[in-house]
């Protein structure tokens, strides 16, 4: 999506309700926050085998954050 | 142990952030709307306030203005937290009296850095004693 020609990107921003970005960020925050919390807990409790899976969830969440930030920059 | 007042109406955000802060040695007080946030800040005088801005009863901007207008609470640092990421949101929070601003999804290390800076400036310990 970062490769979109600017006119299309501008059109998408125009039609996206401002609250949609807010509403996307809230559950994304839950995914990231709980995956990071679980990683900490697994590290402490010695359940290292779960960590790679949780890292994948966190990584995917962070990629979504970057994607949103890059394509819907603050005005 | 620094006492943090978290003013947040979203149950999952409250649960997640309070647990992560408690794990780092902070004592976390909770208010679920703006009015309760103001009342709890006045009663408990926390070391720092994490203020969601989209809140029921009174929103975070109004709650912050009320806190900064009262002698007892005006020096308590307030960090605005919002899922809105527009530059105008940051300006609006600072105009309301917030000392700093952070966007959701929260990046904990970034938020902790801001908290420790403000706790250091306000004369408290810069971070929790572990």
Asked which of A57-66, B43-52, B83-92, B119-128 is least confident by mean pLDDT, the reply is B119-128
The stretch B77-105 carries a mean pLDDT of 89
Could you tell me which of A67, A63, A68 has the C-alpha nearest to residue A35? A63
Expressed as residue numbers, the domain containing A29 is 6-71
The verdict on residue A1 lying in a domain is no
The verdict on residue B127 lying in a domain is no
Tell me which long-range contacts B111-118 makes (C-beta under 8 A, separation of at least 24).
Answer: B111/B50, B111/B79, B112/B24, B114/B79, B115/B2, B115/B4, B115/B48, B115/B50, B115/B79, B118/B48, B118/B77, B118/B79
Number of structural domains (chain A) is 1
> What's the confidence (pLDDT) of residue A70?
77
pLDDT of A68 above 50: yes
Interface of A with B (CB under 8 A): 18, 21-23, 25-26, 28-30, 32-34, 36-37, 40, 61, 65, 69, 72, 74-75
The verdict on residue A21 lying in a domain is yes
Q: Considering only the beta carbons, identify the residue of B23, B86, B106 that sits closest to A29.
A: B106
Number of structural domains (chain B) is 1
Q: What percentage of chain A has pLDDT greater than the value 90?
A: 51
Cα of first residue to Cα of last residue in chain B, in angstroms, is 9
CB contact under 8 A, B105 and A33: yes
The verdict on residue B126 lying in a domain is no
Which pLDDT band, with edges at 50, 70 and 90, does A12 fall under? low
- Can you give the CATH number for the domain in which B17 is found? 3.40.50.2300
Q: Residues of B with CB below 8 A from A34's CB?
A: 12, 16
Expressed as residue numbers, the domain containing B71 is 3-119
User: What ipTM goes with this model?
Assistant: 0.81
A44, closest residue in chain B (CA to CA): B23
Which pLDDT band, with edges at 50, 70 and 90, does A75 fall under? very low
The verdict on residue B128 lying in a domain is no
The verdict on residue B130 lying in a domain is no
Q: B11 and B56 in contact (C-beta within 8 Å)?
A: no
Summarised one tens digit per residue, pLDDT across range B29-74 is 999 999 999 999 999 999 999 999 989 999 999 999 999 999 999 9
Return mean pLDDT, chain B.
92
């Amino acid at each position: 999506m970062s490769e979109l020609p600017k006119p299309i990107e501008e059109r998408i921003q125009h039609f996206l309700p401002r609250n949609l970005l807010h509403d996307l960020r809230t559950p994304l925050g839950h995914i990231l926050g709980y995956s990071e919390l679980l990683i900490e807990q697994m590290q402490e409790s010695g359940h290292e085998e779960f960590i790679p899976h949780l890292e994948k969830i966190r990584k995917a969440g962070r990629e979504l954050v970057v994607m949103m930030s890059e394509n819907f920059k603050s005005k | 142990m620094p006492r943090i007042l978290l003013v947040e109406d979203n149950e999952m955000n409250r649960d997640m952030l309070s647990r992560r802060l408690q794990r780092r040695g902070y004592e976390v007080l909770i208010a679920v709307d703006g009015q309760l946030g103001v009342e709890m800040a006045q009663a408990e005088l926390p070391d720092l306030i994490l203020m969601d801005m989209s809140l029921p009863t009174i929103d975070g901007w109004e709650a912050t203005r009320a806190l900064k207008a009262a002698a007892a609470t005006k020096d308590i640092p307030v960090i605005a937290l919002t899922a809105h990421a527009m530059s105008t949101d940051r300006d609006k929070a600072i105009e309301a009296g917030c000392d700093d601003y952070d966007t959701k999804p929260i990046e904990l290390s970034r938020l902790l850095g801001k908290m420790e800076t403000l706790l250091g400036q306000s004369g408290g310990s810069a971070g929790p004693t572990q």
